[in-house]
């Protein structure tokens, strides 16, 4: 038996509860994992509250991340006792996820937990930090190095934003953070932001082409914000787009792309191939220390609190990341 957050649908409404389930109820998969830590992401908040069409199969155990130890495996790459981490692959949407004491998944969903990185710190990083690293790698592939100029990070108070600031600053970039919470300025500077700007300067409709400023950008917001970021990116710059906190819309024109040659790089963390996600995690383990992880993921909660915290997350009352301990 194991405990899990279980989502069920009744009369079109999502009902969330902590349930005790039998191992026989676990979905198909060739690797079983005792989950040591999970975390709460925006997508998990949508799933738990039913405010977004995240869940594709019912009942569902949410949680798009987890880290733990393999207890059974018939997969060639894993054996009992291996430490593993999972992000994405439709877990928590189409396949039972990590907000549970136990998970069973296809082994192809897993990668080894990098040496020197514990399960708790891995979930402090989670999909947010992993996505931030994919964004940084996209900037690097596009030729945006520390000497290219300023790099903007939108949604700076979120998990992706915080980790993007920390990773970029550590690599020598001058990072400008966009936030709607001026009270968080000291926190963002401690992560490495050289300058803080008000998100209101980017969040309304702007001109198709604006004064060139950014050599690159990491955007988790979308909507008018992403359009304005592209419109003010310098010639040949790269914008890594990974989120839609403001909107899924992209009310822009082709002007920045055909007149300034900028690149809009879409970042998909869910189905990223094995080699790319392994490289991202290896770099995260090498470049992030416990101080940075703790500054962004500074809250830990038991499994039973995940349901209430999901609503707080969607309401914008949580800064950074929440680590979930399913075993307490």
Mean pLDDT confidence for 192-214: 96
* Rounded-to-integer distance, Cα 297 and Cα 82, Å: 25
133 within a domain of the structure (yes/no): yes
pLDDT tens, 20-49? 999 999 999 999 999 999 999 989 999 999
46 within a domain of the structure (yes/no): yes
160 within a domain of the structure (yes/no): yes
51 within a domain of the structure (yes/no): yes
Give the end of a domain, one of 266, 289, 311: 266
CA dist 21 → 6, 102, 105 (Å): 9, 10, 16
Residue 153, C-beta contacts closer than 8 angstroms, at least 6 positions apart: 161, 164, 165, 168, 175, 176, 177, 178, 193, 217, 218
**Does one domain contain both 190 and 241?**
yes
- Report the relative pairing of strands 233-241 and 263-266 from DSSP bridges: parallel
Strand partners, 40: 322
pLDDT value of residue 245: 86
Closest CA to 45 of 121, 197, 159, 178: 159
Strand partners, 87: 65
**Does one domain contain both 90 and 176?**
no
pLDDT at 253 over 80: yes
**Does one domain contain both 108 and 132?**
no
pLDDT value of residue 258: 97
DSSP structural state of residue 273: -
pLDDT value of residue 236: 98
**Does one domain contain both 138 and 73?**
no
| DSSP per-residue codes, 127-154 | HHHHHHHHHHHHHHHTT--TTS--EEES
CA dist 71 → 24, 67, 74, 201, 256 (Å): 15, 13, 11, 51, 51
3-state secondary structure of 293: helix
**Does one domain contain both 104 and 138?**
no
Strand partners, 323: 39, 300
10 within a domain of the structure (yes/no): yes
Contact 34, 18 (CB under 8 A): no
**Does one domain contain both 305 and 217?**
no
* Rounded-to-integer distance, Cα 166 and Cα 323, Å: 19
Mean pLDDT confidence for 104-129: 96
pLDDT value of residue 298: 86
pLDDT at 320 over 80: no
Model confidence band, residue 316 (pLDDT cutoffs 50, 70, 90): confident
Tell me which of 52-56, 163-167, 218-222 is least confident.
Answer: 52-56
257 within a domain of the structure (yes/no): yes
pLDDT value of residue 46: 94
292 within a domain of the structure (yes/no): no
pLDDT value of residue 282: 97
Burial (Cβ within 10 Å: 0-12, 13-18, ≥19) of residue 119: buried
**Does one domain contain both 51 and 94?**
yes
* Rounded-to-integer distance, Cα 215 and Cα 135, Å: 14
**Does one domain contain both 16 and 90?**
yes
Give the end of a domain, one of 266, 285, 306: 266
Neighbours of 116 (CB within 10 A): 8
Closest CA to 164 of 181, 144, 201: 144
Q: Which residue range is the domain that position 234 belongs to? A: 127-266
pLDDT at 319 over 90: no
State the CATH number of the domain containing residue 135.
3.40.50.720
**What backbone phi and psi angles, to 5 degrees, belong to 129?**
-70, -40
pLDDT tens, 122-149? 999 999 999 999 999 999 999 999 999 9
pLDDT at 306 over 90: yes
Of the chain, the end-to-end C-alpha distance in Å amounts to 15
């Amino acid at each position: 038996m194991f405990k899990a957050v279980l989502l069920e649908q009744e009369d079109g409404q999502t009902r969330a509860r902590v349930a005790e389930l039998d191992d026989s109820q676990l979905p198909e998969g060739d690797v079983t994992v005792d989950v040591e830590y999970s975390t709460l992401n925006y997508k998990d908040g949508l799933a738990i509250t039913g405010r977004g069409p995240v869940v594709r199969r019912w009942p569902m155990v949410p949680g798009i991340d987890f880290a733990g130890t393999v207890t059974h495996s018939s997969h060639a790459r894993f054996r009992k006792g291996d430490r593993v981490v999972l992000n994405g692959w439709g877990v928590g949407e189409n396949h039972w996820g990590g907000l549970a004491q136990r998970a069973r998944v296809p082994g192809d969903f897993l990668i080894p937990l990098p040496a020197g990185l514990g399960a708790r710190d891995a979930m402090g990083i989670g999909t947010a930090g992993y996505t931030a690293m994919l964004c940084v790698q996209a900037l690097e592939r596009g030729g945006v190095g520390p000497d290219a100029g300023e790099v903007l990070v939108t949604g700076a108070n979120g998990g992706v934003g915080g980790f993007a600031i920390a990773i970029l600053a550590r690599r020598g970039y001058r990072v400008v953070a966009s936030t709607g919470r001026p009270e968080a300025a000291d926190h963002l500077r401690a992560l490495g932001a050289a300058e803080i700007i008000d998100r209101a300067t980017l969040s309304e409709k702007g001109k198709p082409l604006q004064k060139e400023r950014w050599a690159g950008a990491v955007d988790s917001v979308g909507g008018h914000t992403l359009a304005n970021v592209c419109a003010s990116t310098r010639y040949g710059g790269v914008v890594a787009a990974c989120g839609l906190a403001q909107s899924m819309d992209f009310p822009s024109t082709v002007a920045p792309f055909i007149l300034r040659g900028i690149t809009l790089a879409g970042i998909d963390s869910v189905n990223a191939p094995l080699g790319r996600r392994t490289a991202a995690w290896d770099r995260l383990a090498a470049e992030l220390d416990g101080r940075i992880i703790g500054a962004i993921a500074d809250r830990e909660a038991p499994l039973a609190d995940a349901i209430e915290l999901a609503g707080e997350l969607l309401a914008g009352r949580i800064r950074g990341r929440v680590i979930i301990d399913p075993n307490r």
